[in-house]
Amino acid sequence: MSQLTRRDLLKSSAALGAAAALSPALGGTAAAQTTQKRELITAQGGDISKLDPHYSTSSNDIRVSFNIYDNLTARHPDGKLNPALATEWKLTAPTTWTFKLRSGVKFHNGDPFSSADAKFSIERTYDPNAKTMVATALATIDRIEAPDAGTLVIHTKKPDPLLPARLAFYGGQIVPKKYVESVGNDGFNAKPVGTGPVKLGSWTKDDKLVLEANDGYWGGKPDFDRWTMRPIPETAPRIASLLKGEVDIITQLPADQGERVAGNATTRVVGALYAGLYVLAVNSKRPPLDNPLIKQALSLAIDREAIVKELWRGRGIVPSQPIAKGDNHWDASLPALPYKPGAARDLLKKAGYKNEEIIIETTVAYLSNDKQMSEAIQGMWKDAGINAKVEVIEYSVRAQKNREKSFKGVFWSDPTSTLGDPDGMMWRLLGPGGPQDYWRHPKWDELGNAARFSVDEKFRAQAYKEMTTIFFEHFPWLPVIQPYEDYGLQKYVEFGPNPNQQFEVRKFNLKFKRA
């Protein structure tokens, strides 16, 4: 059965209709599974909190908000940037991007979409009066012009090669100017209107959110009349609801539960390689972690193969670099990070390590397997002669420590590659002033800064290569695993998971197999 899972995976990362091609391998009954359902029911770990897309970046919320609204550009499950409300875009000057907008698009309330809405939406994200939660998402923008209804010209403060990628993620959802201005921010949050494939039906908090299909969607009506999203916080009941056939798709399927879903006659598992890494971020300011040799030893003493195999049941890969596989500039020639406890011991001796305590601060189940991995790594480090200690902290405490930069040693982080590019991951988090700014290196900073503002991809590739080399000397992160994010589905559902926590229900990505 694990074979089936792996194959499903390969498929899902490729293209659509994957499952259909695979089905014969599943055996007769499975292949025959179809449905007449016109309602999609999904379950996730928590309810959404807000319907206004500019007031939240939580994964529970964006699964829905990216479907109520469209962005100018869209990152599809295959990882590629596709046209959405913008049909084409190009760099017309070093700091100017010009977007051609789709014509004939209507908001759910019937208002036509135009460049005025796009300008309003983007400016709203950083408008101090709007008090949004995405004020920094599009902060590279200087000013926006809307010369005609179908054209948008965006001027950036400095050259920004990644602007189209930024517009595909949070902050980039387009809201209707006229409607938002007439009902106000609270009114809009209560009764949202977008251009997306679904519109709000009803919402009973923590019970069900009902979304109706947008019949006139420019990308085609979705393959259902109605989508009900149910929050089921506990994993066991969430899986039970799938196995019993009450829901069609569940999110956040833990690696150790995959076999139950895959082994069941009517359900299967699909997963996408997470667009990011799970790392132990290092507070390099705290001795002895200010010594690069010690950090090299810490990395060498982690048996990542064992973690992937034992704790993740093979649902992940061992990272080879600080750039996530699937991103721009990921270097295929680098080998997986090695496990060499002997070499680690030698390095410790050379570094003059005096058995100082190294604290691993971990949450419980905020990241999958965080506590288990911490304990495993503590053991591995002990074996290599490192005095490690695990301290458990609650998530909101972690958030506070993150803000105050007061971690005592190493701590878990799941850097997401928001832009499909190292700029949106290692530079965003480890760069000067970033949330994990615990380590500075003049050359590294110079390269990261130059790559951010360069529109020359060859130059950027070289810069990230050199940054990776410096990274391996200093390990501001100890990359541990790039896991799969798994979903459980009924076999009659064809669905491609998105690597970056979006949940794509548009017609091209979600279909029911019908008899």
Partner 1 sequence: MRGVLGFLAPKLLRALVAVWLVTTVVFVVMRLSGDPVPLLLPPDAPTSEMERVRRDLGLDRPLPVQYLTFVGNALRGDFGRSIHFREPAWSVVVRYLPATLELGLTSFGLALVVAVPIGMLSAIKRNSPIDQAAMGVALVGQSAPTFFLGIFFILTLSLWAGWFPTSGRGSWEHLVLPAITLGAFSMASIARLTRSAVLDVLRQDFVRTARAKGLPELTVVMKHTFKNAALPVVTITGLQFGTLLGGAVVTETVFAWPGIGRLAIQSIYNRDYPIVQCTVFLSAILFIVLNFAIDLLYGVLDPRVRPR
Nearer to partner 1, 453 or 508 (CB): 453
Pick out residues in 414-453 that bind partner 1 (CB under 8 A): 428-429, 433-435
265 close to 242: Cβ distance less than 8 angstroms: no
245 close to 12: Cβ distance less than 8 angstroms: no
Which of 2, 37, 46, 221 binds partner 1 (CB under 8 A)? It is: 46
Instruction: Work out whether 501 is an interface residue with partner 1 (CB under 8 A).
Output: no
| Least Cβ distance, residue 488 to partner 1 (angstroms) | 13
| Least Cβ distance, residue 190 to partner 1 (angstroms) | 8
Which of 2, 402, 449, 462 binds partner 1 (CB under 8 A)? It is: 402
By three-state DSSP, how is residue 170 classified?
coil
CA–CA dist 372, 8 (Å, integer): 27
Three-state SS string across 396-413, please? HHHHHHHHHCCCCCEEEE
CA–CA dist 221, 198 (Å, integer): 9
Pick out residues in 241-260 that bind partner 1 (CB under 8 A): 241, 243-244, 246
Which of 22, 163, 211, 232 binds partner 1 (CB under 8 A)? It is: 232
CA–CA dist 478, 465 (Å, integer): 18
CA–CA dist 491, 510 (Å, integer): 12
| Least Cβ distance, residue 236 to partner 1 (angstroms) | 5
Pick out residues in 189-208 that bind partner 1 (CB under 8 A): 189, 204-208
CA–CA dist 130, 481 (Å, integer): 38
Instruction: Name the helix (H) or strand (E) containing 96.
Output: strand 96-101
CA–CA dist 316, 300 (Å, integer): 19
Instruction: Work out whether 133 is an interface residue with partner 1 (CB under 8 A).
Output: yes
Question: Which range in 226-234, 248-256, 291-299, 450-458 contacts partner 1 by CB under 8 A?
Answer: 226-234
Which of 31, 183, 240, 351 binds partner 1 (CB under 8 A)? It is: 240
Instruction: Work out whether 365 is an interface residue with partner 1 (CB under 8 A).
Output: no
Which of 28, 104, 148, 186 binds partner 1 (CB under 8 A)? It is: 186
Instruction: Work out whether 165 is an interface residue with partner 1 (CB under 8 A).
Output: no
CA–CA dist 386, 356 (Å, integer): 8
Nearer to partner 1, 45 or 159 (CB): 45
Instruction: Work out whether 314 is an interface residue with partner 1 (CB under 8 A).
Output: no
Task: For residue 428, give the amino acid letter.
Answer: R
By three-state DSSP, how is residue 447 classified?
helix
Instruction: Work out whether 137 is an interface residue with partner 1 (CB under 8 A).
Output: yes
Pick out residues in 48-77 that bind partner 1 (CB under 8 A): 49-50, 52, 55-57
> What is the b/e burial string over 447-463, where b = at least 16 CB atoms within 10 angstroms of the residue's CB?
bbeebbbbeeeeebeeb
CA–CA dist 174, 177 (Å, integer): 9
Tell me the number of residues near partner 1 by CB under 8 A.
Answer: 47
CA dihedral 336, 341, 346, 348 (to 10 degrees): 90
- Interacting residues with partner 1 (CB under 8 A): 46, 49-50, 52, 55-57, 128, 131, 133-137, 170, 186, 189, 204-208, 230-234, 236-237, 240-241, 243-244, 246, 394-397, 399-400, 402-403, 428-429, 433-435
